[in-house]
Amino acid sequence: MKVPFPDAVPGPDGLGRVHLVGIGGAGLSAIARLMAQQGVSVSGSDAADTDVVRALRSEGITVHVGHAAEHVAGVDTVIVSTAVREDNPEVVAARAAGARLWPRSAGLRSVMSGRRTVAVAGTHGKTTTTAMLTCALVGAGAEPSFAIGAEVASLGTNARLGAGHLLVAEADESDGAFLHYEPAVAVVTNVDADHLDTWGTEEAYAAAFDEFVGTVAELLVVGADDPGAAALVAVGRARGLDVVTTGIDPSAQVPDHPDDELRARDVRVVEGATTFLVDGMGLSGLPVQLAVPGAHYAQDALLALAVGLRLGHPADALVAGLATYGGARRRMERLGAVDGVTVYDSYAHHPTEIRADLAAARSLAGDGRLVVVYQPHLVSRTRRYGAEMGQALSSADRVVVADLYLAREDPDPAVTAALVVDAVHGPPASAGGPVESVHAALLPELGDGDLVLTLGAGDVTTVGPRILEGLRTREASGA
């Protein structure tokens, strides 16, 4: 459901009792944690008893499984996920009681109160860049607060209230949330049209990023390897912002501002790690090593390093912090290995993200076979990008495409997994049907040396654990 952003957003101390509907999601769980750590009385509800729900309970937050009107009795502010329906009993009861009904963006804006915000936006790489920047700042002793769109292993959480004055936040454009934060510092990783169910056209999507830059007060850092992000350089400078560009591709340099560029060279992806050298902003050949594989991670790390340098932190401390980043949940996350088969899971759901993750997975697979299970996410995205999704998947050795994850949209008989399967050229590709049954059909095919990568923003994340369990059963039986 779409809830309007309120005219005024008080800080956490002015919210009274707060209840979050859909608290188990990455966005709302981060807000809940930050509010609870600021002394707010927080509760929430979610459809399932997940690891996140159990972790929130262990932190002292009351979380109900299932939704009921009595959960919001006496609550002053109700914050809802975009996935929540209008007829949700807690939403209905909150409206009837006259409680504040807020979107996620208002909750995040509230916890930003009194802090200098660094907002990380862009179509791809937001979560990783936000996490890397947080790790870099922690390494530099800045003690930032942070709100990240996934659990980060090296931080132990997706959100924490820090002692410093900075708050690093992932700024999501999918529902226009990023237009409400008014950050001091902003990062734009790239601008590659997506979420057209919200924005309607690619032009409107790009215009939203122009508008986002108009909300920034001081510093804008953009990934100049991407033309959409590079176009924002002129927008930022026209507004009088300090603008820094980063990138790997020499042809993507923005001329006439050599002191405002950070470049990476000699990027190498070897044995699950990424190394490169950094030039610019007073650096020459600074070595950086990341504990995650992929050239796109070098781009994310450059953005984080540029922000840290511009905020006055020493390069060596920032690089040491970057080295602690070992990945985020559902971002090329290694789930395990059984009977010679290794399983990874990733959130990638757009062709650009699919290509980047398959390149990283190929480096991890070595001489082994790369088997990909992909679940398209959203009818509107699959209608627009289905053929490109299939083309991006073509670098795998075997492709299985599960039924679409509908999320907030109604089904369209003309938009199915076949749009993706038919565009795969090279490897064997098939429609896998319901995500619940994909593992059973795939298991007999898997053998020693295979790397299985599950991809998508929906419940395809359940496939990897099922495959591992099936492999354990097979191994135990000697089959």
Q: How does residue 196 score in pLDDT terms, banded at 50, 70 and 90?
A: low
Beta-carbon contacts of 382 under 8 Å, excluding residues fewer than 6 positions away, are 376, 389, 404, 415, 419, 420
Q: How does residue 182 score in pLDDT terms, banded at 50, 70 and 90?
A: very high
Q: How does residue 479 score in pLDDT terms, banded at 50, 70 and 90?
A: low
CATH number at residue 205: 3.40.1190.10
Among the three residues 279, 303, 323, which one is the final residue of a domain in this structure?
A: 323
| pLDDT on residue 249 | 74
CATH number at residue 422: 3.90.190.20
Same domain (yes/no): 197, 238:
yes
Same domain (yes/no): 262, 368:
no
Lowest mean pLDDT among 122-126, 182-186, 325-329, 345-349: 325-329
Same domain (yes/no): 345, 318:
no
% of the chain surpassing 90 pLDDT? 66
Number of domains in the chain: 3
Same domain (yes/no): 342, 263:
no
Q: How does residue 469 score in pLDDT terms, banded at 50, 70 and 90?
A: very high
For residue 152, how many C-alpha atoms fall within 13 Å in the half-sphere facing its CB? 25
Residue 132 has pLDDT above 70, yes or no: yes
The answer to whether 114 touches 185, Cβ cutoff 8 Å, is no
Q: How large is the angle between the packed helices 126-139 and 295-310, nearest 10 degrees? A: 50
Same domain (yes/no): 256, 354:
no
| pLDDT on residue 94 | 96
Flag whether 7 is in a domain. no
| pLDDT on residue 199 | 62
| pLDDT on residue 328 | 66
The answer to whether 30 touches 161, Cβ cutoff 8 Å, is no
Give the phi and the psi of residue 218 in degrees, each rounded to 5: -130, -60
Same domain (yes/no): 348, 466:
yes
> CA 105 → CA 181, 259, 288, 380, distances in Å?
8, 35, 34, 23
For residue 222, how many C-alpha atoms fall within 13 Å in the half-sphere facing its CB? 28
Flag whether 3 is in a domain. no
Give pTM, 2 decimals: 0.81
Among the three residues 295, 323, 351, which one is the final residue of a domain in this structure?
A: 323
| pLDDT on residue 197 | 67
Could you list the active site residues? 126-127, 170
Residue 264 has pLDDT above 90, yes or no: yes
Quote the CA–CA distance of 397 and 426 in Å, as a whole number: 8
Flag whether 59 is in a domain. yes
Flag whether 358 is in a domain. yes
% of the chain surpassing 70 pLDDT? 95
Flag whether 359 is in a domain. yes
Region 165-193: mean pLDDT is 91
Domain of 58?
Answer: 12-107
Same domain (yes/no): 295, 352:
no
Same domain (yes/no): 345, 414:
yes
Flag whether 2 is in a domain. no
pLDDT, tens only, 96-110: 999 999 999 999 999
| pLDDT on residue 251 | 66
The per-residue pLDDT of the chain, averaged, comes to 91
CATH number at residue 31: 3.40.50.720
Flag whether 165 is in a domain. yes
What residues does 4 pair with on adjacent strands?
Answer: none
Region 338-366: mean pLDDT is 87
Same domain (yes/no): 426, 399:
yes
Q: How does residue 366 score in pLDDT terms, banded at 50, 70 and 90?
A: confident
The answer to whether 175 touches 103, Cβ cutoff 8 Å, is yes
Among the three residues 107, 128, 154, which one is the final residue of a domain in this structure?
A: 107
Quote the CA–CA distance of 338 and 387 in Å, as a whole number: 33
Region 443-463: mean pLDDT is 91
| pLDDT on residue 343 | 94
Beta-carbon contacts of 352 under 8 Å, excluding residues fewer than 6 positions away, are 123, 124, 190, 192, 392
Same domain (yes/no): 379, 452:
yes
Flag whether 5 is in a domain. no
pLDDT, tens only, 367-396: 899 999 999 888 888 888 889 899 999 999
What residues does 328 pair with on adjacent strands?
Answer: 152
Lowest mean pLDDT among 154-163, 295-304, 305-314, 403-412: 403-412
Same domain (yes/no): 140, 283:
yes
Q: How does residue 29 score in pLDDT terms, banded at 50, 70 and 90?
A: very high
pLDDT, tens only, 31-82: 999 999 999 999 999 988 888 999 999 999 999 999 999 999 999 999 998 8
Same domain (yes/no): 314, 367:
no
